[in-house]
Structure 1
C-alpha cells in the first residue's frame, strides 16, 4: 500500500526533475490536509491559516492529492483567472473513488481554502462548478 510518506517522496522526486519553466505554473497541497480538514474539529481554521501563509491557490494549477478509503486520487484545480470560472478535475485511474461521495467534501475543503485567501467570489462559485472525472479508454 502507498502510504503518505512514500507518496511525498515521489512528489518531491517529480518536483526535482520537472523543468522550472513548467513548475512555475503548478503547486501542490500537502496530501494530509484534506483528511485533516474533514477529520478534525479545528481543521477549518487550521486550513484557512495555512493557506493564508502560503502561496496556495495562486498559480494556474493546484494539485490536491487525496487518500480516502485507502485509495489515492488527484484533484486538479485549474485557476483560470479573474474573468473565467475555475475548473475541477478528479483523476482516479481505478474509478474506485466514487466521485459523488467526495464532491461535496472536496468543494467544502476548497471553499475553506479560498476563503482563507480572501477569495470569496471564487469560494461562492464552487456551488456551480462541476467536478469533471475523465474516463480512461483501452485504446
Structure 2
C-alpha cells in the first residue's frame, strides 16, 4: 500500500491517489450526485466542503448505485447465470466428459415423444470406430441401439479436436421413398475446416452399420445416400464447437419435421438459424435441465 510522510513526520495512507482512481472510473457516469462530484474532480475542478454539503443535502438519494447497494437479494438463479456466463467467456473447448454431462442433461429435458423418435450414439463411438482395434465393439454397441427403427439418430463427432454433429435421417426407410428420404446431415460450426473431409469415413461407417445389422441393401445404394452439409451459423472463435453441437441438437430435436424429405431441405437449417446470444442463453440454462 502506498505511504508518504506529511510535514509533521506522521505516516499517512496515500488515499488521495486511490480516490483519484475511483473518481476517474465514476466520472464516466453522470446520473447521480456521486458521479457529478467525480466528474468535477477528474476534470481538475476544485470543490469546497460547503459545495459538497449542498450536493449531499439536495441529492441524498443517489439515482445510480453502480450495483454496490442492490435493492434486493440476488436470486440463486441469477447467480448461476452469472457463473455460467463467466464459463462461456473463459471456456476452453469441451472435452468428451463435459460434453456428455451436458448432453445427458439436455436429453432428459426432451419429451417422451421426442425421445421415442430419436436416439443417439455416444460422442466417442465414431472416434473409436476409426481405430481398427475397437471397430467391432463399436458396431456391436450400435446394434443394440436399433437405429433403423428410429426416425433420427444423433451422432456427435469429435475428430482432430473439433466437434460436429452427424444426423441419420430415416435410415430404416426404403431408398425409393420421397416423403421419408434416407439421408445424412453434417452440421458443422466451422465450415472453413472443410467438414466434407469426413465424408469418406462416414460412408464406410454407415456401410459397416448396415452390414453388421445383416441388412441386404446394395452397397452402391448405401454409398448413394445423400450426404448434406447445410450452411448453419458459424462460431466466432476456435473454442465454441462443442457448445454449438449441443445447441444444434437442442434445436433440431425440437424443430425436426415428422417426415424428412430432400425436397424441403434445408428446412430451418441455414446461416440465420439462431443468433450467438440465443446460444449463450441456452448454455446458461443447460445445467438447470438436469436439476
Q: If the TM-score is normalised by the length of the shorter chain, which range does it land in?
A: 0.7 to 0.9
Query: Which blocks of at least 5 consecutive residues in structure 2 are unaligned?
Result: 1-92, 233-270, 274-291
Aligned counterpart for 1:63 among listed residues 154, 172, 194: 154
Aligned counterpart for 2:211 among listed residues 101, 115, 131: 115
Aligned counterpart for 2:183 among listed residues 74, 87, 111: 87
Q: Residue 217 of structure 2 aligns to a residue in which SS?
A: helix
Q: Which has the higher contact order (CA 8 A, sep 6+)?
A: 1
Q: In the TM superposition, what whole-angstrom CA distance separates every residue of 1:74-106 from its partner, at most 9, and x where no partner exists?
A: 011001623535111100122144222100001
Which deviates further from its counterpart, 41-50 or 84-93? 41-50
Query: 1:30-45, aligned counterparts within 5 Å?
Result: 30-38=122-130, 40-45=131-136
Q: In the TM superposition, what whole-angstrom CA distance separates every residue of 1:56-91 from its partner, at most 9, and x where no partner exists?
A: 342000011101111100011001623535111100
Tell me how large the CA RMSD over aligned residues is: 2.1
Aligned counterpart for 1:74 among listed residues 165, 169, 178: 165
Residue in 1 that maps onto 2:103 = 11
Cα–Cα, structure 1 residues 70 and 122, in superposed 2: closer, same or farther, change >3 Å?
farther
TM-score, reference length from structure 2: 0.44
Number of residue pairs the alignment of both structures matches: 138
Cα–Cα, structure 1 residues 60 and 138, in superposed 2: closer, same or farther, change >3 Å?
closer
Inter-partner Cα distance in structure 2 for 1:129 and 1:117: 17
TM-score, reference length from structure 1: 0.86
Runs of 4+ in 1 over 3 A off after TM superposition: none
Inter-partner Cα distance in structure 2 for 1:119 and 1:106: 18
Q: In the TM superposition, what whole-angstrom CA distance separates every residue of 1:28-68 from its partner, at most 9, and x where no partner exists?
A: 00111101011x22333222322233323420000111011
Distance apart, 1:130 and its partner CA? 2.7
Cα–Cα, structure 1 residues 97 and 109, in superposed 2: closer, same or farther, change >3 Å?
farther
Residue in 1 that maps onto 2:222 = 126
**More strand per residue: 1 or 2?**
1
